[in-house]
Structure 1
Amino acid sequence: MGLNKIILVFLFFCLGSVAFAQSAQIKGVILDKNNQPVSNVNVSSQDIGTRSNVNGFYILKVSANQKVVVVFSHISLKKATVAITLKPDEDYEFNLVMNDKDEQMGEVIITVNNKKRVQGVTVLEPEMIRKIPGANPGVENILKSLPGVNSNNELSTQYAVRGGNYDENLVYVNEIEVYRPFLIRSGQQEGLSFTNTDLVQNVDFSAGGFQSKFGDKLSSVLDITYRTPIQFGAVAEASLLGASLAVDAVSKNGKWSEVSGIRYRNNSLLVDSQETQTNYTPVFADFQTNVNFKPSDKWEFSFLGNISSNDYKYQPLSRQTNFGTIQDPMALLIYYEGQEKDKYTTVFGAVKSTYTASKNTTYKLIASAYHTQEQEYYDILAQYRLGEVDSNFGSENFGDVAFTRGIGAQLNHARNDLDALIINTELKGIHNWKKNQFEWGAKFTRESIRDRVIEWEVIDSAGFSINPPIEFLPKNDQPYSPYTGPLVPYQNVRATNFVDINRFSGYAQWSRKGYIGSNEVWMNAGVRSQNWMVSGDNITSTNQITFSPRAQFSLKPNWNKDMFFRLSGGLYHQPPSYRELRDANGVVQPDVKAQQSIHIVLSNDYSFKMWDRPFKMVSELYYKSLTDVNPYTLDNVRIRYAAANNAKAYAEGFDFRLNGEFVPGTESWFSFGYLKTEENIENKGYISRPTDQRLKFALLFQDYMPKIPSIKLYLNLVYNTGLPGGSPSYADPYFYQNRLRDYRRADVGFSKVLIDEQNPTSKRWLQSFKELAIGLEIFNLFDNQNAITNTWVRDVYSKNQYAIPNYMTTRVFNVKVNMRF
């Protein structure tokens, strides 16, 4: 029996479905009728109890997935009782006002956050994010299992949403926009995602039709909130791919709190599984902290800081890629000389203050700064041999190159440096009046970019230097006729740019909850605007402005079935970032206009019970009409723009997700997505965009063994149809519309919980652990060959361009240990 079959059999034997006890916690502040904190309140449930401190704060662990009764009692106040049902690992805030006259009784059933549900926002559980296996674990790893979200690169945290590219996604942490490095061209250089999963409290995601309060991008919003700790704690993880440590701390008076995390990552284990044999020395590390200070009920201050260093050293040695068909197998053999040295160092800091003027009015002031210094240096000589493979099973040379079709060499050189400083200042307000909520904001952003680009490529085939196919060069008909033109690099990009971009943006929006007859409705309408000016050395200053009206309407009919309908959309703009202003030759084009898109999203949300367990089915139909499109090419995760608004495009599709407790006490889901996105460049006709991912299936599944619930299983499975394979440099993409093979990947993790609340230990030296678990992860379980891009090899004799797929990682095993104190 092959290894794939053995793994598959083992996987099915592990898919049990027996419930075991899980916990949640309820916390909050207890006040008296004068809004003064009440200390020494007894808070108890099922023989477990605690007391409120001098600030009236309490925290109590309770059983999940069942109704429990929590009793609040005090020597001088009347008793209060609440019946509550929480989800596993739910961290629910319940604030209580006790009085001295009447006893209080109530019931709270905590299900999906209704506000997010009405707005069409997907809520992801932090505990699930931490446990689901993936080559790049974290928030983005879970996002890639959602419908409409696509990525064919397990070494990258970048993702495309509903036909957009990597630059079209907004990411916020604590309402502060965060950025990614500029120069990265492949996932293995990328290092760590900004988001530290160990610090996360809430994760919200919207794939389109989002509100005006979110920024000026075309595709999606990822809104992350880091937690405010309430007691000391620590969590640590160590594996063959790296290590992490996060610490929670709280002052004695409860006014100060902080959560900090440090991470180290080494992708050698993954990169070594690729076809290219290398000497690879990556060091990816970062430190983050979120400090909170609440001096009074009206004021709250916080600081979010991050220091990240990604040091990447890469020395390729050799590569063999087999491709073609069974009848005509071929191989590309490459021997390398040289190396690549890249370094990205980023520093990020943000200060946020919140002033609660009254129970209906809140103001927020946010200031942030992001500084990145990036370098990309490489000199790599690749000497290649392209030939036919001996496919005769009886031959001694089976699998070797029997006949050489072409030989050649390719020399790539780069000395790229970038220094960017981005400063933001923002003021926001929230006002509640009866059933209405008004929100507004004003923001100033200054981007200062210092960029030097020096890249060239020389291609030699059978002794002939290949010139770029540019019209003004003399006709190149080698070797049949002598070439008398100048010898120039096949590609040559040289530019130095000093650019400043000043942006003023703002928004205003209104929300209201009400009724139409007996049907519940929620409405939101707003507008965004941005004005930006591009200036710099040898650049004529330009000034442009956009207006983006947006709206959402949700209806919950008065039916027996728990169902929502939503219609959302508007006119969305994406004013150009520095990457969008720089063309393929490295020259900044300041007159590039904002890309704009009309979004229409129609969705249905149906919550129901199956097997006496909660489930939810979400389906969305969407259409985007894009104008002033800035075409681009996609090389792994590097985007090269044309810096010209010379195209129009559209994206249409359907997304479906069914999630719920397929196994009691755990959440799993199945996703399906259909997408079609095409663009028309200079009225030549519609062709597929680089992110035209037609079909997507994903399964995220959690389980535990029937009679040993401390052994758990996590499965992350994704199938995507092939993306367009791109085209050679300087070639017309209209002549290259072939596709890569389908992307198929399954990552599985097995975990054995040694210590937790259900499995305490009697060993003294282990009693400091609240949780201790050891796990085994298998990435690319079935060892599928997935391609991310093509390498284009030209043979001077046949004048053919061969598309050689660049394959991603193969099967990899990883061992990790999780600890919680």
Structure 2
Amino acid sequence: MKNAKPLLTALFFLLTITAFAQSAVIRGIILDENNQPIENVNIKANTGEGATTNKNGFYELRIPSDQDVLVVFTHVSHKRVEQKFNLKNGSEIEYNTVLKVNVEQIAEVVINKNTSQSRTGVTTISPRVIRTIKGAQPGVENILKTLPGVNISNELSTQYSVRGGNFDENLVYVNEIEVYRPFLIRSGNQEGLSFVNTDLVSNVDFSAGGFQARYGDKLSSVLDITYKKPSKFGVSADLSLLGGSVAVETASENGKFSSISGVRYRDNSLVLNSLETNGNVEPVFADVQTYLTYRFTDKFHLNFLGNISLNQYNFEPENRQTNFGTVDEPVALLVFYEGQEQTEYQTYFGAFKANYFLNDKTTLKLIGSAYHATEQEYFDIFAQYRLGEVNTNIGDENLGEVEFSEGIGSQLTRARNDLDALIFNLEHRGDYNINEDSNIEWSVKYTREDIRDRLVESEVIDSAGFSIRPPSVMQPNFQPDVPFNGPLTAFQNIRAFNEVQINRLQAFVQYKKNTKIGEHDAYYNIGVRAHNWSVNGEGIESNSQTVFSPRAQFAIKPNWDKDMLFRVAGGLYYQPPFYRELRDSSGVVQPNVKAQKSFHIVLGNEYSFKMWDRPFKLVTEAYYKGLSDVNPYTLENVRIRYRANNNAKAYAYGLDMRLNGEFVPGTESWFSFGYLKTEENINDRGYISRPTDQRLKFGVLFQDYVPNMPDLKMYLNLVYNTGLPGGSPSYADPYDFQFRLRDYRRADLGMSYEIVNSEKTYSSKWKKSFRSLSLGFEIYNMFNNQNAITNTWVRDVNSQRQFAIPNFLTPRVFNLRLSARL
């Protein structure tokens, strides 16, 4: 499969006709030191736009979007204020500030919130928070796990589940371009870098449900990323014991060309060598990304987003010892290994996006992208195990070793899996501003997916000298009392070869409007999506299906003394099957798999208030999802295997709460709580917990600094999740065996000292070269909690029982970090 056709990096040369000058709105109130409004404050943007405050101190300024804009506030009797903004198209933020007399430094911002995002139920995360808060797997996902409704129980993985959905139910966009994840990943150990390079990010939006029609056809969530358009040259670098990254920003003097590029390298040896399984591990992950923008004229812009990624994971396990049981009766599993695992993922991605600006009413865009992935997963692992009693005699030279074996056995696992995926997208998007308060948006998109896949896996299990047959083979076996005369059969044996082509045609149209209901501000959004897809391939009977997905949102901000906002969102959400959902547990593609269907209803409230003279916001959402044509699956580590038969129905409901604000002046922190219940009914056998039924979730992201040493900063990233129902054997009938993993508890602590920052002045030359420079120390899994991701099941001949031996995640790990910006 490595010899599969390479990616055609020359993608699409785009043409487009009319377009709208993309813009965002800033509005607010300017106050003096006595909290009185100031009239006739002159507000000027460096792009030419301007405004003036009225007698109530109110102003509204429209600025270009997706670029750095410097806005200056001036008044004859007050000192000037300068603030830089970089807002997404259609964003509306409230920016209130205080002008002081005879001072050189401006006062702090009183309120800074995005009212447009609040109306649509979108959570906006500051890129500064993402770049500051690191973790064992740093990136956007490391912050998402602290949000309500988002569950991540594996710090080695970037996969996440939202409100009862699985990993395949989440949309990820970068600059309106959908990005993809690897197909063959089965373990968090094999995962490398998140696609999103945090050094390049200017805006992060996240929606956990009830999202607009403008987003694609998935059931759970949307992560919408915007990369920077730099206005000047800059270099940033980050170096730690786990790898490093460098990002370079450039901009031409005439402002026509800008670029931002990043190189990342990561070596997870420090983390993986702390696991219980000892061996030689070589995890090497690297990628290069670039985002280029060129303004041919004021009316025509062309952008390019490119990515090349290489992930290699080589592992030669040697031995493992896991202690479990009780203090009085300690038990240990001792395993000796032979063989190795070689996993490699190469991905190439490129996308062009063109805009042509004509007037202040209409925009049309054309986006073309291509994604090419070659993945291989090869391993031959022979494991011999002993299960027995542990020596607990203090002072004995054999303390902690297995003395008496209650069970012995072996396991041979083998795989030769290869996959080659080539995906093309061509999309037209349009936007028409009817007036300042209403807008219509539309899109038509064609996708071609060409996938070649070879799946060859086998597993042979021997327990106490007897070959374990697959549970699906219903032939009586009365060993050891009666000899067994049947043929030997591997416990698992999967062989499949698929050549599949999937053609998709998608479209949406949506209308949104800001209006008034009496004295109250109101907003609504209605839209519909259509999705047609056909599955073809060698030995596959062609099949075509079509679904329609109507969606709507409504929000109202009452004219009350308290700053409250209420919203409701809902609709029908379909998820037409991607390749992995078409493939059943035996690896065979089932072209007749239908789209999973979900009815969403989300009720939300936002309450903005002040505490300790600082801004806070409490966001509460209650949700219900009713699902039909559900495609049941099993989840082991991060590998999903579907049944591909749509033979279930399900539901999910819960409550999410998040309180965020300046608990410490000048920093953003939040506390999250989530309750979830999700169950499924397979073949009308009754409702049981789904693999993602994670009932309770608490998350904390807290930032602080030493009052007398504000350059010494600290962050705490804390997550508690109740256990997932993923601890049963993979072959077990879920109706006969409901077993939950232990609760997931983890706290990561980071401390850093800012040697150089923008608020200091320096005499030494070397410090003048830096815009920022910091040295940090991090503790991952600070309390050394033993979290488990799966169980290994071992038979005990003596007691005729099976033991669930937890496969633990990473223990406490220390890391050093150096970050700089020129």
Contact between 2:47 and 2:69, CA under 8 Å: does it hold in 1?
no
1:376-775 to 2 correspondence within 5 Å? 376-391=377-392, 397-434=398-435, 435-472=437-474, 474-775=475-776
Deviations 1:16-35 (A, max 9, x none): xxxxxxxxxx99544499xx
* Mapped partners of 2:80, 2:374: distance in 1: 54
* Mapped partners of 2:203, 2:511: distance in 1: 24
Deviation at 1:339, TM superposition (A): 0.4
Distance 1:798 1:533, change over 3 A: farther
* Mapped partners of 1:30, 1:573: distance in 2: 42
* Mapped partners of 2:402, 2:797: distance in 1: 19
Deviation at 1:581, TM superposition (A): 0.5
Contact between 1:596 and 1:626, CA under 8 Å: does it hold in 2?
yes
Mean CA deviation greater in 248-257 or 386-395: 386-395
Deviations 1:333-372 (A, max 9, x none): 1111100000000000000011223111111110000000
Matched with 1:36 is: none
Matched with 2:362 is: 361
* Mapped partners of 2:695, 2:588: distance in 1: 34
Deviations 1:72-95 (A, max 9, x none): xxxxxxx99997686xx865799x
Code of the residue aligned with 2:256 in structure 1: it is K
Deviation at 1:191, TM superposition (A): 0.4
Deviation at 1:710, TM superposition (A): 0.7
* Mapped partners of 1:738, 1:58: distance in 2: 52
Code of the residue aligned with 1:297 in structure 2: it is D
Deviations 1:256-299 (A, max 9, x none): 10000000000000011111112001110000000001122221
Matched with 2:133 is: 132
* Mapped partners of 2:379, 2:531: distance in 1: 39
Contact between 2:406 and 2:797, CA under 8 Å: does it hold in 1?
no
Matched with 2:313 is: 312
2:285 equivalent to 1:284: yes
> How many residues in Structure 1 have an aligned counterpart in Structure 2?
746
Code of the residue aligned with 2:526 in structure 1: it is A
* Mapped partners of 1:638, 1:340: distance in 2: 16
Deviations 1:409-429 (A, max 9, x none): 000000000000010000011
SS at match of 2:482: coil
Contact between 1:27 and 1:92, CA under 8 Å: does it hold in 2?
no
1:83-162 to 2 correspondence within 5 Å? 91=86, 111-162=112-163
Code of the residue aligned with 1:451 in structure 2: it is D
SS at match of 1:733: coil
Distance 1:579 1:654, change over 3 A: same
SS at match of 2:119: helix
Code of the residue aligned with 1:776 in structure 2: it is F
* Mapped partners of 1:797, 1:492: distance in 2: 29
* Mapped partners of 1:545, 1:82: distance in 2: 61
Deviations 1:763-787 (A, max 9, x none): 2233211111100000000111000
Distance 1:83 1:724, change over 3 A: farther
Deviation at 1:481, TM superposition (A): 1.4
Code of the residue aligned with 1:469 in structure 2: it is P
Code of the residue aligned with 2:346 in structure 1: it is T
Contact between 1:27 and 1:59, CA under 8 Å: does it hold in 2?
no
Deviation at 1:216, TM superposition (A): 0.3
What is the TM-score with the length of structure 1 in the denominator?
A: 0.88
* Mapped partners of 2:212, 2:199: distance in 1: 28
Matched with 2:16 is: none
SS at match of 1:146: coil
Contact between 1:725 and 1:738, CA under 8 Å: does it hold in 2?
yes
Deviation at 1:326, TM superposition (A): 3.3
Mean CA deviation greater in 486-495 or 107-116: 107-116
Distance 1:549 1:315, change over 3 A: same
Distance 1:85 1:616, change over 3 A: farther
Mean CA deviation greater in 433-442 or 156-165: 433-442
Contact between 1:479 and 1:796, CA under 8 Å: does it hold in 2?
no
* Mapped partners of 1:167, 1:334: distance in 2: 33
* Mapped partners of 2:674, 2:395: distance in 1: 45
* Mapped partners of 1:561, 1:361: distance in 2: 37
Matched with 1:298 is: 299
* Mapped partners of 1:80, 1:566: distance in 2: 42
1:782-797 to 2 correspondence within 5 Å? 782-795=783-796
* Mapped partners of 1:543, 1:797: distance in 2: 56
Contact between 1:479 and 1:797, CA under 8 Å: does it hold in 2?
no
Which segments of 5 or more consecutive residues in structure 2 lack a partner in the other structure? 1-42, 51-66, 90-106
Deviation at 1:647, TM superposition (A): 0.7
SS at match of 2:653: strand
Matched with 2:242 is: 241
Deviations 1:569-588 (A, max 9, x none): 11100000100000111100
Code of the residue aligned with 2:701 in structure 1: it is L
Contact between 1:28 and 1:58, CA under 8 Å: does it hold in 2?
no
Deviation at 1:395, TM superposition (A): 6.4
Contact between 1:467 and 1:487, CA under 8 Å: does it hold in 2?
yes
What is the TM-score with the length of structure 2 in the denominator?
A: 0.88
SS at match of 1:357: coil
* Mapped partners of 2:506, 2:124: distance in 1: 27
* Mapped partners of 1:547, 1:773: distance in 2: 51
SS at match of 2:710: coil
Matched with 1:373 is: 374
Contact between 2:515 and 2:521, CA under 8 Å: does it hold in 1?
yes
Deviations 1:154-193 (A, max 9, x none): 0011100000000000000000000000001111111010
Deviation at 1:251, TM superposition (A): 1.3
Contact between 1:582 and 1:641, CA under 8 Å: does it hold in 2?
yes
SS at match of 1:483: coil
Deviation at 1:729, TM superposition (A): 3.4
Using the aligned pairs only, state the percent identity: 62
SS at match of 1:692: coil
Matched with 2:24 is: none
Contact between 2:635 and 2:726, CA under 8 Å: does it hold in 1?
no
Which segments of 5 or more consecutive residues in structure 1 lack a partner in the other structure? 1-25, 34-56, 63-67, 72-78, 95-106
Deviation at 1:399, TM superposition (A): 3.1
Deviation at 1:58, TM superposition (A): 9.1
Deviation at 1:726, TM superposition (A): 3.7
Contact between 1:717 and 1:745, CA under 8 Å: does it hold in 2?
yes
* Mapped partners of 1:694, 1:379: distance in 2: 37
Mean CA deviation greater in 549-558 or 729-738: 729-738
Mean CA deviation greater in 180-189 or 728-737: 728-737
Deviation at 1:304, TM superposition (A): 0.1
Distance 1:812 1:287, change over 3 A: same
Deviation at 1:253, TM superposition (A): 1.4
* Mapped partners of 1:82, 1:167: distance in 2: 53
SS at match of 1:127: helix
Matched with 1:9 is: none
Contact between 2:319 and 2:336, CA under 8 Å: does it hold in 1?
yes
